[in-house]
């Protein structure tokens, strides 16, 4: 047996306040966070992404809330109130007080039209329809088209890419050749062919976007799946006899979530811009329905004399595009732990 060592009592001293403070200073103060909580914390520090998220929330609330509460009927025609400028109660700034310049003189357009008791925040179009109500209605239509098309993008693109990357080999090669064939066909050709079969409208635009937009998502998911499936925890799950379906939902999809979310943030504005382009050139949403593209098309006809009819829908489209792109950049930085804060 080892010799017992006896220590004198003066070898032990009570901890003083200074010693306790020194020990406390060495503690790790940062809280323990999950990957999602850490990503949310990093996103909130990105002011551009945070402001974009708030702006998009307001736009969604106004666009879809106008279904129940709308200032005016967006399709109600009143020719006597045609081409009225913007008028906001309590604001006397030119451009927002209901006046415009005619023959070198500034006149009250509302008084001239006999609409002294009315006010239109964004003015009216050439048929006397409330532009603010039509912008809300058109924004809602554009967002619905983008969200439905993105839903197809998620279901088809994620499933296709996941299956292609997981199988690999000849199956993966064949599926990638199919994607290359689809990419070689311009989107405009697809929409024109669909218009020959279907009439112009929401259905043809959604189908056209759904048929072509999912390929980018599929390629990204496939590339990530090829990398993740070689990880040790995937090999362990296969060794334990878990099915491919269970591995995909339990291990692959959670690790692919960041790529899917980020790509979705860029897919939505692309779909909105594609719809606006088609409606602007006259092969998308048709009158009397409104979308951001049709409003731009109507506004450019009177742009020289009544530029506000084009500025308002153009401003909303720019805000949506910029907000989604800034939010996508913020999410990409938030999900990437290598990004410096």
Please check whether residue 309 lies inside any domain of the structure.
yes
Is the separation of the CB atoms in 309 and 294 below 8 Å? no
Please check whether residue 8 lies inside any domain of the structure.
no
User: Tens of pLDDT along the chain (341 residues)?
Assistant: 556 767 676 666 776 766 666 655 555 555 666 767 777 788 888 888 899 999 999 999 999 988 887 788 888 888 888 888 888 888 878 878 888 877 778 888 888 888 777 888 888 888 888 899 999 998 998 899 888 888 888 889 899 999 998 888 899 999 999 999 888 888 778 777 877 787 777 888 888 888 888 888 899 999 888 888 888 888 888 888 888 888 887 888 888 888 888 888 888 888 888 888 888 887 778 777 888 888 888 888 888 888 888 899 999 999 999 999 898 888 888 876 555 55
* pLDDT at residue 287 in the model: 72
Please check whether residue 102 lies inside any domain of the structure.
no
Is the separation of the CB atoms in 220 and 259 below 8 Å? yes
Please check whether residue 18 lies inside any domain of the structure.
no
Is the separation of the CB atoms in 231 and 290 below 8 Å? no
Tokens (6 digits) for 120: 């239109």
* pLDDT at residue 318 in the model: 92
Strand 99-102 and strand 105-108: the pairing is: antiparallel
Conformational region of residue 95, where left means phi above 0, alpha means psi within -120 to 50, and beta covers everything else: left
* pLDDT at residue 19 in the model: 66
Please check whether residue 236 lies inside any domain of the structure.
yes
What Rg, from alpha-carbon coordinates, does the chain have? 29
Please check whether residue 132 lies inside any domain of the structure.
yes
Please check whether residue 2 lies inside any domain of the structure.
no
Is the separation of the CB atoms in 212 and 190 below 8 Å? yes
Q: Give the CATH number, domain containing residue 143.
A: 1.10.3720.10
* pLDDT at residue 44 in the model: 82
Please check whether residue 4 lies inside any domain of the structure.
no
Number of domains, the chain:
1
Would you give the distance in Å from CA 51 to the centre of its chain? Answer: 13
Structural domain span for residue 263: 58-84+120-335
Integer Cα distance of 337 and 341 in angstroms:
9
**Can you tell me which residue has the tokens 């399709």?**
75
Tokens (6 digits) for 252: 């692959």
* pLDDT at residue 27 in the model: 58
């Amino acid at each position: 047996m080892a010799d017992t060592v006896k220590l004198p009592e003066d070898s032990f001293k009570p901890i003083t306040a200074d010693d306790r403070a020194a020990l406390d200073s060495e503690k790790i103060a940062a809280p323990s966070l999950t990957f999602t909580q850490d990503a949310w914390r990093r996103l909130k520090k990105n002011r551009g992404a945070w402001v974009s998220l708030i702006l998009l929330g307001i736009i969604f609330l106004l666009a879809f809330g106008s279904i129940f509460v709308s200032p005016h009927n967006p399709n109600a025609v009143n020719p006597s109130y045609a081409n009225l400028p913007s008028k906001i109660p309590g604001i006397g700034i030119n451009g927002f007080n209901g006046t415009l310049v005619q023959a070198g003189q500034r006149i009250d357009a509302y008084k001239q039209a006999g609409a002294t008791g009315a006010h239109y925040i964004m003015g009216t179009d050439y048929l006397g329809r409330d532009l603010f109500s039509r912008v809300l209605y058109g924004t809602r239509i554009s967002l619905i088209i983008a969200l439905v098309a993105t839903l197809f993008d998620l279901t088809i693109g994620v499933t296709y890419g996941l299956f292609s990357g997981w199988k690999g080999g000849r199956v993966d090669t064949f599926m990638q050749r199919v994607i290359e064939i689809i990419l070689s066909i311009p989107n405009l050709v697809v929409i024109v062919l669909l218009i020959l079969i279907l009439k112009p409208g929401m259905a043809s635009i959604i189908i056209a976007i759904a048929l072509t937009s999912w390929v980018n998502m599929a390629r990204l998911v496939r590339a990530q799946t090829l990398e993740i499936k070689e990880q040790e925890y995937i090999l362990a799950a296969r060794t334990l006899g878990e099915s491919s379906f269970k591995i995909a939902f339990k291990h692959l999809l959670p690790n692919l979530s960041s790529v899917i979310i980020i790509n979705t943030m860029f897919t939505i504005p692309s779909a909105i811009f594609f719809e606006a382009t088609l409606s602007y050139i006259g092969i998308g949403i048709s009158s009397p329905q409104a979308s951001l593209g049709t409003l731009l098309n109507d506004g450019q006809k009177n742009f020289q004399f009544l530029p506000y009819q084009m500025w308002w829908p153009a401003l909303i489209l720019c805000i949506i595009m910029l907000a989604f792109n800034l939010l996508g950049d913020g999410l990409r930085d938030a999900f990437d732990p290598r990004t410096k804060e």
